[in-house]
């Protein structure tokens, strides 16, 4: 039986992949006035913080609406990711 040896990726490599996946996902959501950006990723816990950026007056509603789908998509694409949370900007 042949096993697959996975090397541990750096935090920066994981962050780059998450940012790439968010960039790919954003147009599919149809949110014209805002973008989704990676705020941080904690490799110890596997939690990514994202925020909605732009002039969107409904960003809080968009975050609540789209977060489950965004989290599911990112978890499928990024093995190290365990949870996605929205970072609230004040």
**pLDDT tens figures, 27-85:** 777 666 677 889 999 999 999 999 877 666 655 566 678 889 899 999 999 999 999 99
What CATH number does the domain containing 28 carry?
A: 3.30.300.130
Predicted local confidence at residue 35, as pLDDT: 78
Closest CA to 41 of 87, 6, 72: 87
* Phi (first) and psi of residue 50, to 5 degrees: -120, 160
CA distance 80 to 46: 6
Predicted local confidence at residue 6, as pLDDT: 63
Domain membership of residue 1 (yes or no) is no
Closest CA to 50 of 77, 74, 24, 28: 74
**Domain limits for position 53:** 11-86
Strand ranges across the sheet with 34-42: 34-42, 47-54, 83-86
CA distance 86 to 89: 9
Give the chain's domain count. Answer: 1
The secondary structure element, H or E, covering residue 38 is strand 34-42
Predicted local confidence at residue 3, as pLDDT: 59
């Amino acid at each position: 039986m042949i096993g697959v040896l996975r090397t541990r990726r750096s935090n920066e490599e994981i962050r780059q992949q998450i940012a790439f996946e968010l960039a790919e996902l954003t147009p599919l959501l149809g949110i014209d006035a805002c973008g989704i950006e990676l705020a941080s990723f904690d490799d110890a816990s596997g939690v990514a913080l994202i925020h909605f950026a732009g002039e969107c007056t409904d960003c809080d509603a968009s975050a609540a609406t789209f977060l489950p789908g965004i989290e599911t998509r990112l978890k499928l694409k990024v093995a190290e990711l365990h949870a996605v949370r929205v970072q609230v900007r004040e």
